[in-house]
Structure 1
Amino acid sequence: MKAITFSLHTKQPLLATSFQGDPNSDVSYSYIPGSMIRGAIIGRYMKHHNLSELDLANEQVQRLFFDTKKIKYLNAYLLSQKKQRTLPILRSWFRDKETKLNENVQNIHAYDFSVERNEGKLETPKFVGEGFWTEEIDCIRYYKEKRRINIHNRRDRTKGRSTQTTGEGEIFRYDAIDAGQTFQAVILCEEIDIHLLELLHKSSDIWLGGSQSAGYGHTQITDIQTHENWNEVGSPKSRTEHDNFTITLLSDLILRDEMGQYAVIPPSSQQTSTPIQKALETALTRIIGQDIKLQVKESFASSTLIGGFNRKWGLPLPQIPALAAGSVFVFENIEITAEQIEELESVGLGERKIEGFGRIAVNLREKKEFKIALPETEQPQLATNSSRNIATKMVERLLKAKLEQKLREQLSPLEIKGNISNSQLSRLQLIARKALSTGDCNLVLTLINNLPANAKIQFERATINNKSFKEQLTTWLNHPEEWISNKHDLKVKISDIEMELKPEFAREYTLRLILAVTKKTIKGRK
């Protein structure tokens, strides 16, 4: 479809209230809703034409603001460093529970269970987390909106302070999108309308969201562009040949069941037919020209509540349950062309499509394993040798702190079983401590390989990890890195000083593991 894109830069915190948090707080969405953008442009239109209210029968008003077939106001999502519109994180993306992106961990491995549910690679799978993403050559770039929390108290508007009136003086909180962030908005249209462009160009300053008189909502419009053929997720030509037919929600989806009630039932093998399955089958039958029945394989879904505020009436809108953006639904594969994919994606599904709801992508992802990385930041360069030395020591300590955590995780389930005497374990401890001072694992290997007959029998008959204790010790000492899981997480960087797992660190913590497990066994016998 043809489209108008423009950037929205927040000059003040922005409050696009959602139904999160407790009753005494207003928590903003992580994006700028399409309904809010449409409302602001309607306000400009009315001011430009000196109208007190819209004439809904007017053809131009219908075309610009209310005809779903001719125009759609999409949600404004965060703009990436490379000036791309991001998309909500997919619910089918999982990481290991122990790995998490932060200042010290700039990238992690993730798995798309909608492509292949390979839970064997993850000990404790966990959803990657809320946020936004764009695809780059070597990774998925993860973005998260910045937020600002302000505390307010109710007061009398005239007196400027709280009075004895019921409710005044109460404390409440605003959790808003912070200032200084840029989002990209999109208006899909049948034809590029000159009147719409004039409204956008009229002023770069626009006010969005709630509490505009209290220092919220000032936003700047920049980079207005028109596109003759715009697609939300790129060309569909590369998405026709897939193992499955996969639908990804790029925005929240509002559907009703057969009884006319709002429904958020994800399709599954237990459900004979669900609202989203029926909506897809109806749309595909119309587009492809033959009766289509979808066979469900898997769903990765979440639900949310949709609300809002009607400025004309000064009242909140009814709460509506919806399937959340990022939900992924996997069906048995069907034959579909690029043109049919494009038509399905451009029309969307469900209700309130004009406000950006019901945006979908077909066969969006095909990589089952990938790297997720934080946005690149310009690190300050360390100018002096002294500062570089300090940074090197800090990096080493941070890396060793991670290894310490790995050691505790590994030690927790370990237990030496069998009749091995405390004296033999103490002897092993003594040699391991000596080896620890030099980092020479061969000292312990020499002990194990030259045990007296009685001691050798004890080491061989004792078990750990369902292996002979002697065999496990030999494996650890010959391959010190083997017991360390998720080695790719053991990387620390400060400025241009970077450090990852070194062989000497692996040997040191292997010897410490041996010391810890023997100490644990001796202590457990007392």
Structure 2
Amino acid sequence: MTGRFLPFTLTLQAPAIVTGPGADPNSAATLPFIPGSCFRGALASALGDPDTDPSRRDLFRDLILSGRVCFLHAYPLAQGRRSWPVPQSWRMKKDGEAKEGAPQVIDLAAKQADASSEEAAWPKESLQRPGAPFVDLDGPQPQFVRVRVGRTFHHQRDRAKGRAWEEASPHGPTRRGTIFSYEYLEAGQQFGGGVLLRGSPAECEALAEKVRSLFPPTVFVGRSRSGGYGGCGAVSWAAASGRETSAAWAALPDQLPADSMFRVFLTAACLIRDPDTGEWNPAQTWRAVADRLDGRVHLQWGRWAFATIGGFNRKWRLALPQVPALAAGSVLVFKTTAPIPRQHLLDLEIAGIGDRQPEGFGRCLVLPSLSHEFTIADPVWADQAAVADSGPAATPAQRPGTIAKLDHSGPAAPASPVLDLIQRRLLEKRLARLVADQAARLAAQARSRPTSSLLGRLRTVLGHPPKEALRHLATWLGEGEHALRRPALDQLRRCQLKGENKKTTLLEWLHKRRDARFDQLDRDLGLNALAERVHVVSAAAARQWLEQEVASLAVRWIDALLAALSLRNRREE
């Protein structure tokens, strides 16, 4: 069997929610990649309903139904290179020391080949799974890849009243309105996908031309497209190749001799039926591989995980049955019983394994043996290490806009992690009470409070990470196309607060707190005095922690005031 891979790049120009099976029915959690079914559906939509246009039935059959065109999952790009699911055989040592400035990875599938038994192959150290879902293997050094995922909270409410409502019914009033959240892939990210074309070289070239010419230049993926989501992805095509990857780490010899080891790496989930019963049974994946290679291999061991795969048929408007599958990243290690030519291994990659292959499932790579222990680059780990190695934070006297510490407090003395944890918890507990009390006091003296719907919108932004939340809030309170509309800003200007021995508007108050300055928060909440009263290690160590958490404190302080104003509104309704 011959085939060609036609790669493409999808650039998200808007947030995208690509949901998987399960989760809260009132909310939506996105997958970290774009499934191939989204691209297959986009092409089917561009072709139109074949029942209304008989001239396109043959074309629709060739591109959508024949199985000769398979749309691969789109995984995030790393410096222009398509990443891969992290192998299920990878583990990292808990609290392990790094070598050459990068964390250590242990490949259990390769380590077992060097051990006398499975028990001996498992390291004695405590291990953990990698924290990233994808890895870039095509670069000079393996590197973990993560996608940027945002979260937005929404409130179902009456548009006129700006709050939840009740509906009359024969059995009594029914309350309507709920709080729900949307988790989405942030705009601006790039994902690398591909189209597998099966057939002779001439047939593959003809199919590639049809796909490129008929595929829409802009693709909408996921749900809630009328609510500002949908991805609005721009598609760009690259030159076709004979394999899913041409990187050196995946190179194969001309022939695998007898009694040699190789691995099958699943680059997408695999849905397999038991050949005897017809039931879905992902544990039979190894048998499908052996059948493809005419029984010339024996399974030695595997490191795998399981997943549940569902879907939705938009033509029928029905959900597809949820079935168990072998998860992407699973690794199966085989031993040959007879020589296997390289072309037979490539035929296995093109033919795939299992069902629903046109939607991107059942994809695999045949790989030689890899090193059982190696270093890997991790941007998140590097950032944390840089913070840890940066030394103590600058004192307020060294930073502009902050109040100098009291002379008698002394430097922050080193302490054990247990004492630091106790001190942090004491401070957080006292801060929660202090912030709530001060917010209630300010809200009680407020005049011309904004509507509850506007306060809820402002609080939605604060659900992001602290620095990002403050950046979004600054955008909303500023000027430009992404700022709040004039009526909303007028509400914030009309609201009068009494603080710092003078009156100020809520808009001015928000502008000052969004800068997250320690001196401003100290005047509002008395942070220096709090550090003097509540500390275990030293007052200096308590103040140092408060300074490091200044962005989080600013978000908590703003959110507490908005919540208190909303509570006053509800009490007066």
TM-score normalised by the shorter chain: which range applies? 0.5 to 0.7
Aligned partner of 2:272 in structure 1 is: 255
Question: Among residues 4, 9, 12, which one is paired with 1:10 in the alignment?
Answer: 12
Give runs of aligned pairs for residues 117-516 of structure 1, distance below 5 A: 117=112, 123-135=125-137, 138-154=140-156, 164=166, 168-190=176-198, 191-192=204-205, 193=207, 194-200=209-215, 202-203=216-217, 205-232=218-245, 234=247, 236-238=251-253, 241=256, 243-257=260-274, 258-265=276-283, 275-285=284-294, 292=295, 294-334=297-337, 335-363=339-367, 365-375=369-379, 391=390, 393=392
Q: Distance in 1 between matches of 2:97 and 2:222?
A: 32
Does structure 2 conserve the Cα–Cα contact (< 8 Å) formed by 1:19 and 1:27?
no
1:353 counterpart letter in structure 2: Q
Q: Which amino acid aligns with 1:247?
A: V
Q: CA RMSD in A?
A: 3.9
| SS of the residue 2:14 aligns to | coil
> How far apart are 1:51 and its partner, in Å?
6.6
Against the structure 1 CA distance between its residues 361 and 215, is the aligned structure 2 distance closer, same or farther, given a 3 Å change threshold?
same
Structure 1 unaligned blocks of 5 or more? 266-274, 286-291, 380-389, 409-526
> What does residue 566 of structure 2 align with?
none
Aligned with 2:232: secondary structure? strand
Instruction: Say whether residues 1:109 and 2:104 are aligned partners.
Output: yes
Structure 2: which amino acid aligns with 1:186?
Answer: G
Structure 2 residue identity aligned to 1:144: R
How many percent of aligned residue pairs carry the same amino acid?
27
Question: How far apart, in 1, do the equivalents of 2:415 and 2:164 lie?
Answer: 55
Structure 2: which amino acid aligns with 1:62? R
Q: Report which of the two has the higher share of helix.
A: 2
- 1:417-468 Cα deviation digits (max 9, x unpaired): xxxxxxxxxxxxxxxxxxxxxxxxxxxxxxxxxxxxxxxxxxxxxxxxxxxx
**Helix, strand or coil at the partner of 1:94:** strand
Which letter does structure 1 place at the counterpart of 2:330?
A: S
Superposition TM-score, scaled by structure 1 size: 0.62
Deviation track 1:361-401 (CA, whole Å, cap 9, x = no partner) reads: 1125511111111259999xxxxxxxxxx956559xxxx99
Structure 1 residues 239 and 300, CA, compared in 2 at 3 Å: closer, same or farther? farther
For structure 2, list consecutive stretches of 5 or more residues without a partner in the other structure.
113-119, 168-173, 199-203, 384-388, 395-411, 421-573
CA–CA separation in structure 1 for the residues paired with 2:366 and 2:104: 24
Q: Which residue of 2 aligns with 1:520?
A: none
1:256 is paired with a residue whose SS is coil
Normalising to structure 2: TM-score of the pair? 0.57
Matches of 2:60 and 2:175, distance apart in 1: 40
Counterparts of 1:44 and 1:169, CA distance in 2: 37
Q: Distance in 1 between matches of 2:219 and 2:94?
A: 42
CA distance in 2, matches of 1:230, 1:176: 31
After superposition, give the CA deviation of every residue in 1:313-371 in whole Å (9 maximum; x if it has no partner).
Answer: 33322211111000111223343221111110111000011111000111255111111
Deviation at 1:53, TM superposition (A): 5.7
> Partner amino acid for 1:30?
P
Conserved 8 A contact 2:47-2:60: no
One-letter amino acid matched to 2:266: L
Please report how far the alpha carbon of residue 231 of structure 1 lies from its aligned counterpart in structure 2 after TM superposition: 2.8
CA offsets 1:154-189 (integer angstroms, 9 cap, x no match): 468999986546684122222222222110110111
Residue type of the alignment partner of 2:105: A
- Mapped contact 1:140–1:370 kept (Cα < 8 A): no
CA distance in 1, matches of 2:127, 2:186: 31
Amino acid across the alignment from 1:237: L
Aligned counterparts of 2:392 and 2:63: Cα–Cα separation in 1: 61
Q: Partner residue of 1:74?
A: 72
Deviations 1:466-494 (A, max 9, x none): xxxxxxxxxxxxxxxxxxxxxxxxxxxxx
Aligned to 2:471: none
Q: CA 1:150/1:55 → structure 2, altered by over 3 Å: closer, same or farther? A: farther
How many aligned positions are there?
370
Amino acid paired to 2:278: G
AA partner of residue 3 (structure 1): F
